[in-house]
A and B are shown apart, each in its own frame.
Chain A
Amino acid sequence: MKWGKMNIKIELKNIFLSYDHTVIFEDFSMQLDDNKFYTLLGPSGCGKTTILNLIAGFIKPDAGQILIDGIDVTNIEPNKRLVNTVFQDYALFPHLNVYDNVAFSLSLQKISKIEKKKRVMDALNFVNLGEYIYRDIAELSGGQKQRVAIARAIINQPKVLLLDEPLSALDLKLRTEMQYELKKLQKELAITFVFVTHDQEEALGMSDYIYVLNNGQVMQKGNPIDIYDEPKNRFVADFIGESNIISAKYLGDYQVKINNDIYKCVDGNFNQGTLVDVVIRPEDLKIVTHKTKLKVQIITRLFKGMHYEIVGQDISGEKWLIHSIKNVMPGEEVFLDFDPEDIHLMSTNV
């Protein structure tokens, strides 16, 4: 192993991949460290599942290298890789019961019955499914199937666990529950998880590190807080949470011109006169009684439980999404205020 690469678990190097004459990845690279919870986040078709398939070995790149633990596995078959997958629809074997599903990979090796049973029980207890050992797969609920799929994938002590939208088939309550469990599981197993989702809430809640992907390219990588607070571009801002994205011009000296009004801001890494995109999160917009530079007329108002989701339109025609606990009526005219640190500037190109 090379110096300085000790804790890099997975490395994708200059991957080129095309399918049916469509280029999916052009010189794609990424490094994933040991014992971290990674999320690949993006819309469908962004290439996130393809990355899992590359790591698992179901797809071979046209060019480039895949390294696991510093060892080149590019041409190694999936059944020889120390990586296991939790599939989107669980992919449990319908002709085998819970025990035999979990024991599947052990039954391919020469392992004594006693040892096998012990390891299956350990894995099932790990996912709190000890009593379901001889159940038929068809008798399980979605959440239980999910746990069987996880038990089956971790029984061989993989170095990396790949999770392909594993929560998408569950209902909302169960999904939230499983998020906590997956996070806990990753800490206990102390291995790298690579979790694929298109759900930004899941990504923000569980991950140590997020890759936001679009069209086979990394749009932004970082920890959840940075990604939420400091989106690098319009795509990330739009994809992560709801936000108001407005074209603006940076005037230099921490001043930005939005809709002919000049505001103070805290971002300053732009040249004077640069056109920028401005992000203001809806929860940062405050409806105030005093006069401000921004007056909007309320168009719609939707009760969301915790707050109202309000859309207002300013004189220039720009629409503003506001989250507020104030109850305002459609047609009403109100003033909006926000703090300089709530204005986030992004460059317009990518």
Chain B
Amino acid sequence: MFKDFKKYAIIYYLWIIIFVVLPILLIFIQSFLDMNHHFNLINYKTFFSSTYLKMTFNSIIYALLITLICLMLAFPTAYLILKTKYKKILLILLILPSWINLLLKTYAFMGLLATKGFLNNILVLLNLNPVQFLFTIKGFLIVSIYIFIPFMILPIYNSIEQIPENLIKAAQDLGANKWQIIKKIIIPLSKNGINAGIQVVFIPSLSIFMITRLIAGNQIITLGTAIEEHFLVTGNWGMGAAIGSILIISLFLSIFIVQYPRKKFLRKKNVDIPSVGGANV
């Protein structure tokens, strides 16, 4: 369509090469270098030892837990907002907290969850024993869910909103009650949104290191924490890159597995694949 345009598009292609392809290659290369810059497989051997496998397993379990709880809160929220008269403004208000810098929000939780913080003051007022939130798994889960939930609500809201009103009416007409409509129509038809939501919550919660450091102390080590530790504390870049490489490979494998049948399904239906926005954490 454009001939002159091709000259300018080179800038974009350069970006792809320098900032997309090259960095990933660099991680892979680095992962084969040991502390003395020798090329070998020691980092991968270390990774497949029990300590790292256990850490990976825990990290996945936490990420799954966070994703599941987010989903269980986000789906009803999205569904119920759509039933209100003020759905647009309510959605904006629900998403608004995600526009505040997440370090500020995490910082707020440091005050809220402190040993003598607000939450414990309330517990004491209610004659309950104070609970240690900071530097525990509880605190980590609460803050993570808080940070990620808007990213789960948005795609689910969008996909439920797109379900034609007539389909709901048709299901009702054919005898379905409210629960049957949710189970048989709304959940299957909002699958794309649910998948997108899972993706934008699960991946960052596997790799986030900021919340683990500030809220969970060193109680929880996620894949992200381990990578950060090797790059910025121990200086073992090779080990960090090896963990990174494994993370990258498993992410792309899982996305391929999730998306392949979806794409096939969508090709049949001639539906656009909704673009996946990322939780920027």
Could you tell me which A residues sit within 8 Å of B by CB distance? Answer: 56-58, 77-80, 83-85, 87-89, 91-95, 104-105, 107-109, 136, 138-139, 152-153, 156
A84 and B269 CA atoms in complex are apart in Å by: 26
Question: What residues on B are CB-neighbors of A87 within 8 Å?
Answer: 166, 169-170
Asked whether, in the complex, the Cβ of A79 is within 8 Å of the Cβ of B269, the reply is no
A77 and B173 CA atoms in complex are apart in Å by: 9
A220 and B270 CA atoms in complex are apart in Å by: 45
A88 and B169 CA atoms in complex are apart in Å by: 12
Question: What residues on A are CB-neighbors of B177 within 8 Å?
Answer: 77, 79
Q: A104-B184, A136-B268 are in contact. Are A91 and B175 (CB under 8 A)?
A: no
Asked whether, in the complex, the Cβ of B268 is within 8 Å of the Cβ of A89, the reply is no
Partner among B167, B173, B270 whose Cβ is within 8 Å of the Cβ of A93: B167
Write 15 A-B pairs (CB below 8 A) sorted by A numbering: A58-B173, A77-B172, A80-B175, A87-B170, A88-B166, A91-B169, A93-B185, A95-B189, A95-B191, A104-B171, A104-B176, A105-B174, A108-B174, A108-B180, A156-B175
- The minimal Cβ–Cβ distance linking B262 to chain A, given in whole angstroms, is 12
Question: Does B235 reach chain A (CB closer than 8 Å)?
Answer: no
- Sorting the interface of chain B by its residue count into under 10, 10 to 19, 20 to 34 or 35 or more gives 20 to 34
Question: What residues on A are CB-neighbors of B269 within 8 Å?
Answer: 94, 136, 138
Asked whether, in the complex, the Cβ of A79 is within 8 Å of the Cβ of B189, the reply is no
Minimal Cβ-Cβ distance residue in A for B168: A91
Question: What residues on A are CB-neighbors of B175 within 8 Å?
Answer: 79-80, 105, 108-109, 156
Asked whether, in the complex, the Cβ of B167 is within 8 Å of the Cβ of A91, the reply is yes
Minimal Cβ-Cβ distance residue in A for B170: A91
A80 and B172 CA atoms in complex are apart in Å by: 9
Asked whether, in the complex, the Cβ of A85 is within 8 Å of the Cβ of B188, the reply is no
Q: A91-B166, A91-B169, A91-B170 are in contact. Are A108 and B176 (CB under 8 A)?
A: yes
Asked whether, in the complex, the Cβ of A138 is within 8 Å of the Cβ of B268, the reply is yes
Number of A-B residue pairs having CB atoms within 8 Å of each other in the complex? 73
Question: What residues on A are CB-neighbors of B261 within 8 Å?
Answer: none
Question: What residues on B are CB-neighbors of A93 within 8 Å?
Answer: 167, 170-171, 185, 189
- The minimal Cβ–Cβ distance linking A56 to chain B, given in whole angstroms, is 6
Give the top 9 A-B pairs by smallest Cβ distance, nearest first: A105-B174, A91-B166, A91-B170, A95-B188, A78-B172, A85-B173, A105-B175, A79-B175, A138-B269
- The minimal Cβ–Cβ distance linking B175 to chain A, given in whole angstroms, is 5
Question: What residues on A are CB-neighbors of B184 within 8 Å?
Answer: 104, 107-108
Question: What residues on B are CB-neighbors of A94 within 8 Å?
Answer: 167, 189, 269
A136 and B271 CA atoms in complex are apart in Å by: 14
Minimal Cβ-Cβ distance residue in B for A83: B173
**Chain B 65-77 per-residue mask, 1 if CB under 8 angstroms from chain A, else 0:** 0000000000000
- The minimal Cβ–Cβ distance linking A228 to chain B, given in whole angstroms, is 33
Asked whether, in the complex, the Cβ of B174 is within 8 Å of the Cβ of A152, the reply is yes
Asked whether, in the complex, the Cβ of A78 is within 8 Å of the Cβ of B173, the reply is yes
- The minimal Cβ–Cβ distance linking A83 to chain B, given in whole angstroms, is 8
Question: What residues on A are CB-neighbors of B166 within 8 Å?
Answer: 87-89, 91
A16 and B260 CA atoms in complex are apart in Å by: 53
Question: What residues on B are CB-neighbors of A79 within 8 Å?
Answer: 172-177
- The minimal Cβ–Cβ distance linking B113 to chain A, given in whole angstroms, is 42
Partner among B164, B180, B270 whose Cβ is within 8 Å of the Cβ of A91: B164
A139 and B174 CA atoms in complex are apart in Å by: 23
Asked whether, in the complex, the Cβ of B188 is within 8 Å of the Cβ of A156, the reply is no
Minimal Cβ-Cβ distance residue in A for B271: A94
- The minimal Cβ–Cβ distance linking B173 to chain A, given in whole angstroms, is 5
- The minimal Cβ–Cβ distance linking B108 to chain A, given in whole angstroms, is 41
Question: What residues on A are CB-neighbors of B169 within 8 Å?
Answer: 56, 58, 78, 85, 87, 91
Known: A57-B172, A91-B170, A108-B184. 10 other contacts (CB 8 A): A58-B172, A78-B169, A78-B173, A79-B172, A87-B169, A89-B164, A94-B269, A104-B171, A104-B174, A153-B174
Question: What residues on B are CB-neighbors of A88 within 8 Å?
Answer: 166
A91 and B184 CA atoms in complex are apart in Å by: 14
- The minimal Cβ–Cβ distance linking A155 to chain B, given in whole angstroms, is 9
**Chain B 257-276 per-residue mask, 1 if CB under 8 angstroms from chain A, else 0:** 00000000000111000000
Q: A91-B167, A91-B170, A152-B174 are in contact. Are A138 and B270 (CB under 8 A)?
A: yes
